[in-house]
Structure 1
């Protein structure tokens, strides 16, 4: 596999554009969230405000679903459309993706921005390919590079794009795989430069990370408990997928976009009255939550993990479409801390294994899962995270063969 100098340049420019675009999009969404959920309640005291916000958002989401269609499109849909048509439609589509995503995210859906960003990115790359006269193969490479860069930028995970390269199986030689990895790395580097440059202009109070003590206290009991953490994470990943199947089936039976969106909005409001941790993707809440989690009762942590997973899938199935990666990480983290409540030994390791196995079970991508968690946990536990991701994937594939 050979890459021309011009294609490498296109990849670097694309990475920079993706990083800047993702940062600007997230900055806008965070501003709107702050306005709806913080500024307005400070100015006016309104009883049951979260429920009113959820219902109003439900009306808007329902109108988007009925008037515009199923927007924003997801990463899976973006890649599927490209494989079927050799392109991602961008005429009149980018604006619809943008509008639908902003509404979903600002009104509190337990979903992330990666779905909308991948749809916008796919349309932009198709536009670039049309104007630069790129071949179909090069357009596909740019699309996968762009999605890998976008994941690396919004998750602050430098190896997320390289993880995508490891997931691919259509490059049999080591030489081709190394070239692919180098190209992903170069694109990711420029993407992170663009993303972090914009973010420095709009600093955040809380970043996407977990709080643990500065020094890891290794306990032999934690090593013994790793199989239990592995099992709990795998089971929670299965539960997350089962809830997804149930909510999808309920939405199909309901078959009424506006009513479905209103029900999801009501759920958002009710869950928000219970705990603000149920709202949003969980990106900015993960750090403060991890500081408090050890003080939470065990039952509350389990309810938070299962409740977050349930609300995420209700939102998506009932028309509030978005990404599930951030919420999956947050809900899995809550379950991990529940295990730590029972067995308080080396929480970094226990929580890391739970989240790694759960996320891999949900995404079915061990290298991407490990790369996303690389900087979320202390580097000392990353080998355990990587082994857990690869092991649960092999276990899942083995069970599917038996079935």
Structure 2
């Protein structure tokens, strides 16, 4: 019995290592397609045709129409991470026969400039890939839930260049322990599997980047700063501001979800594209997930008026939720990080004009507070923010995440009472 259990565990580890490697390559190909599509549509083509000022309106509206028709015929994809995981828990699989549909559905909003991130679509693709390999190899189908967590861990690790974030996201979404120890791995085996799959996927992505070219620079990194007494005195202001932005994200989610139920399919996507195009015509910084815009922001933030920066933060949140709920779907982590950094910069410019050190500290605290409202996992938030903030700021980021989490948790308990 013990020998059989050990053999199954070894097979599982080998299988997940292979799944991680394949997933890393698939993610590289996906990001390469996105890079090519956006460069062609938003950089090369406008120069070739001497694009008029209304070019973004036309492209975003056309993109909305294409996405709307595609979703009407092929299904409501991509789906959020919790829906993907929930589907696997309920049915034991994910519709892998639609993997091409999942890839196209994930790619179209990103190429047409939607204000969303890539993680939502790619988690569904990687989970579907794991389910397809699993069922076709006839290997341990009872581990489908585990493969969905592996897919989530791999996708988040690669897309965010943060293995710790991917690992803790999977761990914090663990199922209850099974009563049949011969069918499913124990907790220690699961942790090992997550780690091996993540390392394997990052290795595969690194090899693809080395031999075929890097597909994404990720978020730019802030320089390390040492907060002084004025920064610490302002910390409560940054915390409150970040929490308010996080609560605005949740509230605008509700608004946009209600609006999406009123407007019929296809028309909803067209309207979202039209609004997005009109906004980005005058504020291009609101477009896309926020990675490249962050690099520009870090060097040119002093050129923006403080109140304009704060306004952009809330507008970006609103546009992102509009895109997600009205059909131009994707993830929200990248846009929320960008919005929170804008908010921190704006408040810093009001109090410490043209001081990069103060601005970086403000951005770190507001971002940690904002993400904690929705994630409610201080450790995962801290690991995620190592994506762009230095490790030496981890203590302050973790403290901000804990405090914000406690405040919002208390507020929810009061509502329930």
Shift of residue 337 of structure 1?
1.0
Q: Tell me how far apart the structure 2 counterparts of residues 380 and 354 of structure 1 sit (CA, whole Å).
A: 17
Shift of residue 137 of structure 1?
4.4
Shift of residue 106 of structure 1?
0.7
CA 1:276/1:199 → structure 2, altered by over 3 Å: closer, same or farther? farther
Contact 1:64 1:71 in 2 (8 A): no
Match of 1:202 in 2: 213
Match of 2:180 in 1: none
Match of 1:249 in 2: 258
Post-superposition Cα deviations, 1:95-130, rounded to whole Å, max 9, x if no partner, equal 111112222111100011111111111211111221
Give the alignment partner of residue 50 of structure 1, picking from 56, 61, 64.
Answer: 56
Contact 2:160 2:387 in 1 (8 A): no
Contact 2:312 2:339 in 1 (8 A): yes
Q: Does 1:10 align with 2:15?
A: yes
Match of 1:330 in 2: 338
Where does 1:4-403 land on structure 2 (aligned, <5 Å)? 4-47=9-52, 48-91=54-97, 93-168=98-173, 179-200=189-210, 201-203=212-214, 206-212=217-223, 216-254=225-263, 256-344=264-352, 346-403=358-415
SS at match of 1:11: helix
Contact 2:63 2:112 in 1 (8 A): yes
Shift of residue 169 of structure 1?
5.8
SS at match of 1:218: coil
* Deviation larger for 65-74 or 40-49: 65-74
Q: Tell me how far apart the structure 2 counterparts of residues 205 and 322 of structure 1 sit (CA, whole Å).
A: 17
Shift of residue 61 of structure 1?
1.2
Structure 1 stretches lacking a partner, 5+ long: none
Shift of residue 189 of structure 1?
1.3
Shift of residue 205 of structure 1?
7.7
Contact 1:167 1:367 in 2 (8 A): no
* Deviation larger for 361-370 or 371-380: 361-370
Structure 2 stretches lacking a partner, 5+ long: 178-185
Q: Tell me how far apart the structure 2 counterparts of residues 74 and 265 of structure 1 sit (CA, whole Å).
A: 20
Q: Over aligned residues, Cα RMSD in angstroms?
A: 2.2
Q: What TM-score, normalized by structure 1, do the two folds share?
A: 0.92
Match of 2:183 in 1: none
**Number of paired residues?**
397
